[in-house]
Structure 1
């Protein structure tokens, strides 16, 4: 019997070493904490909880799905919790939590491309394996990994209970579900675990009503009550996005599952609704000049502590445009390369090229010299805008191109010029003319120019 016991313990030890291989138990998951606890800070044990039911429709669908796929409703609930943690931690893939039942660590390495169906299958296998070796003392599991009896794994927990008489008092209806927030010290039969846990989800199956509900518990040492209520609404939103009777949604990759609340999606759509109607016969530089006339003193560009107004941008762009037009005879449709780091000069170079009907073509300053030469020679362009950091890349082509130092033309002393909004009105640029050219990466061969 002693030998069998030692063999069983040795097998369990090997299992947990393998299951938690490369898992950093001392690193907490990046939940949306309102504050962080210092290493020597005392835990007050005060917490807040939000409880709500899943709603009849969602409950029935999850229970039916579990029954038809040979998994337990606990495993389906745990899989959904992993989806929620994946979203709540902004995409953390290695999720290791404590499970109240038998007090075991449960690790799930999430692949964002998985579907919920794939995740449920993985959770089923993982949980059954962990339960098989759950007799191995938790303290010894931790000692094997981090030489401590307390690990951050217990700070985030999951629990599942079946109850014949589950009732919720003082409910608040949210859609077809009930929301019940409370604020109190964390007290239960698991005082030690609750004292250690900072965030947990407890799912309850009310057998008499065949209804699922859950309670989210969080430590007030780390979370504000309002944050916990928002987290609860996000979990409820996740539940609404996962009706298991919808085959299309069960096949949806985890990274595509919406996480924003309705009001947040509305606000985001409003922010991104920047579409503006333009005249069909208008060009880029025409629209730019119109903005200069409307908002001459407003900031047009701001970068790294530097800024420039619309009128200043037009002024410097016109100075450079005149230089390109008169000194280098750049005409309508001529390609003008620009190899410049992100700066105000880059924007000035773009607008100067467009003002005279040129075709703007960006070159990356990070590309090797040979690639830059290949791109320039491919289009037979004769003008390259550069600055002091990039001009040395083109010295070997001095006989083939004209290298224009973009900084000298408008920052040099003695250059004076008044803004003329109609300076280049004689250039007959039309919307059908090419505005820019970019090159493909060249990963499958020679880079190709795309208009």
Structure 2
């Protein structure tokens, strides 16, 4: 059985060096790996012998063990605090640092509706939304969202940071409503169609919302003092008005503004709103 032996010498100045490395062919050892410490009083040193079977360990593995053992003793005799000790070798620390160094500079922080508008200008005729047998291109979706945003700004006087709820089932209007709210500077707050009316009213009361976006199938679902805005009637799919006065560019939003609010419950079961 072949064995690999590496000696680590500790001298009186507590510096550490691997001073010997031998492959002992044809010899046998009792254990798969053995670590032996010897004190040399004449020269005031301590040597450590690490013996391992090559039938069990690769040569590179044994070498790494020796280096790791040396690293431990380096730290034991240093002035470092014990919580700073590490089994990692220098190249492993560097590798770990590289793996965790994931910072990317995205430049200026944009907004979802801005990014969508950029895509609409780059790919106006590409399909952006598909639902059952219908579809909308990027430019169509942008146009309808701008129409709704202008309505919220001009007719409803929605201000940046104002909550706008939405109670709309899966449809084109759902996506148009979401983008339109962001374009107006409002806080997108979706309501779940399957929640009881009492719970929906509790959500609306908690957010102190004044506007709720609905469409034809949900406009009569709630009895609320809020203004119900039928998205389908606002954007008028059948006749597109090409002369839209756009006030969207004047809306001042910052990264500190809340994007949306969702509803959940805490451990006690009480309803609460969570903003992002």
Match of 1:284 among 86, 92, 112: 112
Match of 1:304 in 2: 132
Match of 2:231 among 385, 400, 406: 406
Structure 1 or 2: more helix by fraction: 1
Higher RCO (C-alpha under 8 Å, 6+ residues apart): 1
Alpha-carbon distance, 1:440 to partner: 0.6
Count matched residues: 172
CA distance, structure 2, for counterparts of residue 373 and residue 442 of structure 1: 18
The ranges of structure 1 where at least 4 consecutive aligned residues each deviate by more than 4 angstroms after the TM superposition are: 412-415
CA distance, structure 1, for counterparts of residue 189 and residue 205 of structure 2: 13
TM (normalized to structure 2)?
Answer: 0.58
Match of 1:384 in 2: 212
**Residue pair 2:153, 2:247 contacting (<8 A) in 1 also:** no
- Aligned partner of residue 391 in structure 1, secondary structure: coil
Match of 1:367 in 2: 195
Q: Does 1:439 align with 2:263?
A: yes
**Residue pair 1:337, 1:363 contacting (<8 A) in 2 also:** yes
CA distance, structure 1, for counterparts of residue 140 and residue 243 of structure 2: 11
In the TM superposition, 1:234-273 aligns within 5 A as none
Alpha-carbon distance, 1:417 to partner: 2.9
- Aligned partner of residue 438 in structure 1, secondary structure: strand
Unaligned 5+ segments in structure 1 are 1-275
- Aligned partner of residue 271 in structure 2, secondary structure: coil
TM (normalized to structure 1)?
Answer: 0.36
- Aligned partner of residue 328 in structure 1, secondary structure: coil
Bigger radius of gyration, 1 or 2? 2
**Residue pair 1:282, 1:430 contacting (<8 A) in 2 also:** no
CA distance, structure 2, for counterparts of residue 278 and residue 342 of structure 1: 33
Match of 2:272 in 1: 448
Change (3 A) 1:350 1:430: same
Match of 1:342 in 2: 170
Structure 1 or 2: more strand by fraction: 2
